[in-house]
Structure formats: structure tokens, C-alpha cells
Amino acid sequence: MDLQSVQDLKGVLRSDFFHGYATAAAQVEGAWNKDGKGQSIWDTFAHTPGKVKDGSTADDAVRSYDLYKEDVALMKSYGVNAYRFSLSWSRIIPHGGCDDPVNEKGIEYYSNLVDELLRNGITPFVTLFHWDTPQALEDRYGGMLNQDKFVPDFVNYARVCFERLGDRVKHWITFNEPGVYTLAGYAAGVHAPGRSSFRDRNEGGDSSTEPFIVAHTELVAHGHVSRLYKQEFQPHQQGTIGITLHGNWSEPWDEANPLDQEAAERAREFEIAWFADPLYKTGDYPASMRAQLGDRLPKFTPEESKLVLGSSEFYGMNTYTSFFVKHKTTPADINDHKGNVEIHDSNKQGVPRGEESDTEWLRAAPWGFRKLLNWIWSRYQMPIYVTENGTTAKGETTATPGVLNDQFRIKFFEGYVGWALARAVKEDGVDIRSYFAWTFTDNWEWAAGYTDRFGCTFIDFDSPDKTRYPKQSAYYLDKLFKHLIKDS
């Protein structure tokens, strides 16, 4: 694990830089119906035949609900100083609603986890919503399609979390990747709740309108929860609150063609600025989106715009890869959500976007990560917390010495952290304050089931205790951050 390539970067990251791993409740906890937990839309989705690639469910996942103490000890051995995890809304309020009872066993689990982290010197970063809407709310009123009913329920849930955990949790994230939840769940229909215009895939839904309705609900709900926290809890709890957005870098297919340059910028706006402009820049959606979508894109009321703009105290950033983007000459399809562009794996010169992982869409492209960091910093001027970044690797099916010595992942981190992130700080002046690798252990990767292994810890899914096997990438990251972070 040679750090030769980063010798000149010793101490370039701030002394209070957070580094660790990110997870999501539905992907790691298991105990899907234990101790009073209610059903989520992902429980429903996973138990519907044909929805998950390998036919699996997250009923057990990796059993972090039962094994959290062992997991915290393992994380500590990896040298982390922070852990980003999500709360299961239906574990805390089984039916989700503001008039529904709180499940004390659920609160107890998260309270114990927070205490265990703090005892081990690990700072908790807590995400309120990582895609798992309580099924009861979906049944009652269609979940996020009904903003008027969803917002009070989400605000109540957040209040319970702030009241019960906020004395110890100082870093809050409202929504994880609202755009991915929206596009995969309501445009493509391949994630829960499984809605789209494609009747061969989904029984209901409208890909041309519902994603934009749901996205608007998420932004407004975030704004209300942020205002609640700042007014009622922040003065005495002294924490911070924000949101985490997804977004990959879009590069012009032909860098000399102004139309491709415009297409790449439009793709970035449709993917990232869709949420980030209302939050950090204008209080409204990008003009490029309004031009293509017209009245299918909701309009912010003056009150909503004021509520949302400035509501996130940092830029939470999840990113994985980069794509080449080419302009289209034909009119946009009514179900298009990308800005009417073509997406390519190679550019006009035949240069590929990056080395292949074990996941079709994900290729290692640190060059794009650095460009994206600069684009976000330039456009929004907000401190950036990298809240997810990582990769799968080919051939990781059994815990052999070769698999555990995961050189592909180590090379990925070397490029993304040791080159792109660290040099963006040192040479480009970007304000970056955290890096959370995705992910701590192999997990249940949504509709991909157990076929996508992102973990820096290999999991034997066939063993009763989901036996953990550390990979070398975990120790490499520890060594890398010890070098990059300034001594306090």
C-alpha cells in the first residue's frame, strides 16, 4: 500500500476532516419485522416476485441490527472517525403518520448504536430518509405524491428523531439522493414503490409527471424539517442539518462541439441542479428544465422558494462515475429526464470513461470526480461533504486472499481520494470536509440484491452470522487519511 503518489499531499485536509463509511438501514439492518418494526415500501418491493435481480430480500441483510457492537468495533479497527447511517422510519414509527405511535424498541436500537459509536470515538452522521417510506403511508395517500399529507408526517418523524437522539447526534441529513429515489422509483419504476408509464413493468404511474411531483415534495419536506431543526433544536443542540444529492460528471462527447458542451451542462443541470439550484442558488429549478418540461415541472410558491433556499447548511455529495454526453437533434421524449441527450461510454476519440467495475454503469473515473467537485464548488460555494463514493470489483464472489486483497478498489480510492479530492483541496481551493466510502460491508444493494458487492468488508451471506472478512482497501483508506489529514 504505497503512498508514493501522494507524498506531496501530507496534511492537505483540514484537521477536523471526517472519514468513514456510509450505509442505509434497509440494506444492512435485517430484522425487517422484529421488535415492532413496520413494513416499508422496500419490504413490499423485495417480497414481490421478479422485482429483485437474484430474487433475494433484505429480511436478514447483514444483520447489523443484531451485530452493531461488532460492527462498530470493526469500524474502529479501520481507523474511521465518523459513520453515516440512516434511520428506518418504519422502525421508529411503524405506520409512519403523525398520529401513529412511536415504537420504543426502534428508538432504543438507534440510541444504543449512537452511544456505541461515541464510546469508540466515531461521530454519527444520521440520515432521516434513505428511500424506505413506510408502506402504510403509501397505502393511505400515495406517499410523496401527496405533498400536503406527506410533509406533516415527515416533519413529525423528524421531530421524534431530534427529540430522542439530537442530544448526541450533531450531523443530520434529511434526504439521501432525492433524485435517485424519484427517477428509479417513479420514472423507470425499477425501485420501490415501482411506478412508471411502462405497463410491462409497473401497474401504475406516469413517468412524465410523477417524478417531478415527488421531487418537489422532497424539497419542500426538507425545507420544513430544516426550519424545525433550526428554530426548535439547533439553539441548544448545536448541530447542523443538510441534504445529500446524487450526481455524476457529464463530459462533452466532442469537446470541440458547442452543442455537446451545452448538452453536458444541461445534463448536469437535469441531474444535479434540479435539486441544488432551489436549495443553494436561486430558489427555483434551472431554466433548461423549465424550457423542456414546461408545466410538467411544478412551480415553487414564493413561500416554498423562501423555505427551500438556504435550508441546507452544507452540500452533501454522493457520486460514483462519469459519462460522455452528446446532444440530440430530435425533440425530447415526454418521459425524458436527462435533458434530451445521448449517454456514451467513450468519447469521439474512442477514449473510454474509465476502467470497468462489476456494475454496468459504474466505471472508475477520478478525472470526472475532480471536475465535478470544482463545478459544484464554483456554482454553489458551499462546504462539500462527500457522503458516498465507492465501487464494486469483478470476481468478488468468495473470500479468497485475492478477493480480500482488493487492488481494484484500492486503485479506485487512490484516484478518487488521493488524487481528485486531495488535489481539489490543495490546488483548486475547494472546501471539502468529509469522505464516506460506500460502503462498510457488502450489503443488499436494492434491486440488484446481493449481486453488487460494494463493501470494504466481504460478507459471507450464506453464514448465519453473515461472517465479516476485512478487505485490504479498508486498511489502505486508514493509511491514506492518516497521511492526508492535518495533525490537530
Q: 443-476 burial, b for 16+ CB within 10 Å, e for fewer? A: bbbbbbbbebbbbbbbbebeeeebebbbbbbbbb
- Of the listed 29, 138, 177, 304, which one is catalytic? 177
> CA 358, 359, 360 angle in degrees (round to 5)?
120
Q: Is 61 helix (H, G, I), strand (E, B) or coil?
A: coil
Cell of 252: 462533452
Residue 192, Ramachandran bin (φ over 0: left; ψ between -120 and 50: alpha; else beta): beta
Which amino acid, one-letter code, is at 411?
K
Closest by Cα among 410, 437, 335 to 5:
410
Q: Is 372 helix (H, G, I), strand (E, B) or coil?
A: helix
3-state secondary structure 298-313: CCCCHHHHHHHCCCCC
Q: How far apart are the C-alpha atoms of 415 and 427, rounded to whole Å?
A: 15
Q: How far apart are the C-alpha atoms of 340 and 14, rounded to whole Å?
A: 40
- Of the listed 218, 251, 313, 388, which one is catalytic? 388
177 included as an active-site residue: yes
388 included as an active-site residue: yes
Q: How far apart are the C-alpha atoms of 196 and 128, rounded to whole Å?
A: 25
CA dihedral 270, 86, 19, 184 (to 10 degrees): -30
Positions marked catalytic: 177, 388
